[in-house]
Structure 1
Amino acid sequence: MSAKKVLVVSATKAEAAYVPQECELVITGIGKVSAATAVASALARFLPGELPLVVNIGTAGALHVHHGGLFVPGVVINHDISSAAIRSFGHEVVDRLALVDGDDSVLATGDAFVSDAAVRDALAQRADLVDMEGFAVAYAAQAAGARCRLVKHVSDQADDSALDWPAQIDASARELGRWLAENA
């Protein structure tokens, strides 16, 4: 990847603290609406044939105790939309996206901060990791015709340990910055 053809997207400045300076960076804010809006606005500045690769970096909660470290999910789902109900009314819902060059992990995105073990365990039946922006970033990139990669570092176990997320961000940000330096 060439840094000039990469748009790095992060929810927070803290998660992006170690992004290489040569990378273009967009801080979206937390949540799906903020992420989708920021990515769509950023991509609108580019001509269709000159769209960058969108790389969303950030922290994620592990939905399985054996998960840790860095992941590049191959699938992202929108876990907190009522897909079945909407489909029952005859409307199609995109709630799952496949990502090129991803690993075999599944990232679940939703606007709820997961810090309850029971919620985590239910979500673990569908995914490996949970975050609050990945699906929205991938959806906005796809809608604009841009390629997208999600790079997530496990910061917690999506249980009460998630409440310590602010103290874990720097360690995750270092790993995300290292990945970008090696791959952007």
Structure 2
Amino acid sequence: MTNAPVLVVSATAVEAAHVPARFGVLHTGIGKVDAAIAVTEALAAYPAGARPVVVNVGTAGALHDHHAGLYVPSRVLNHDLSAEALRSLGYPAVDEISLPDGDGSVLATGDVFVSDPARRAELSRRADLVDMEGFAIAAACARMGAVCRLVKHVSDNADESAMDWPAQVDASARELGAWLDAHY
């Protein structure tokens, strides 16, 4: 628990449908660009020394068949950035952020909806879960001097089951709301 204010962030309203009423929720929209813009704008409204803890709640695809339930990643990767190539050209490119109080899991974020088995297998060598906003939210928080926690609930296996997301999201939202209630 913390005494700092908490800003709950989710990509969509359905992912935050069961967030306890005592929290305000920022819905960013889907994808890294919308998430980064929305979180940066929201944090800019706070004085530098009084920024909230940002808690991003949302669904994720499991990159390993044995992964299920709720995760609080310790690291987040930007999986669709050519960071190594950019660095070889002399440009700094951040493609990994460490997060406080995580459970050891790794989240890969990209704007690509992962449902292809080959892409899933490739990502599974580097990460446990995949989403479309986490890295952008963590990067915006780092830039704005805010603590960030990512809390993800597995809604699918990052395969053809991902197309069943609408039928699974409410169960994930309930788990995410219960986690928030227990931790903040």
Alignment TM-score > 0.5, same fold: yes
Map residues 146-157 of structure 1 onto 2, 5 A cutoff.
146-157=146-157
Aligned partner of 1:62 in structure 2 is 62
Tell me if structure 2 keeps the 8 A contact 1:77–1:106: yes
Aligned partner of 1:14 in structure 2 is 14
Tell me if structure 1 keeps the 8 A contact 2:4–2:53: no
Aligned partner of 1:177 in structure 2 is 177
Give the CA deviation at 1:4: 6.8
Give the CA deviation at 1:2: 5.3
Tell me if structure 1 keeps the 8 A contact 2:19–2:177: yes
Aligned-pair identity (%)? 63
Aligned partner of 1:123 in structure 2 is 123
Give the CA deviation at 1:118: 1.3
Give the CA deviation at 1:49: 1.1
4+ aligned runs moved over 3 Å, structure 1: 1-4
Question: 1:133 aligned to 2:127?
Answer: no
Map residues 43-82 of structure 1 onto 2, 5 A cutoff.
43-82=43-82
Deviations 1:47-100 (A, max 9, x none): 011110000000000000010000000000000001111112110101000001
Alpha-carbon distance in 2 for matches of 1:160, 1:7: 33
Aligned residues: 184
Give the CA deviation at 1:117: 1.4
Give the CA deviation at 1:141: 0.6
Query: Please, what is the CA RMSD of the aligned residues?
Result: 1.0
Query: Structure 2 length as normaliser, TM-score?
Result: 0.98
Map residues 155-174 of structure 1 onto 2, 5 A cutoff.
155-174=155-174
Alpha-carbon distance in 1 for matches of 2:92, 2:144: 19
Determine helix, strand or coil for the equivalent of 2:179. helix
Alpha-carbon distance in 2 for matches of 1:54, 1:4: 10
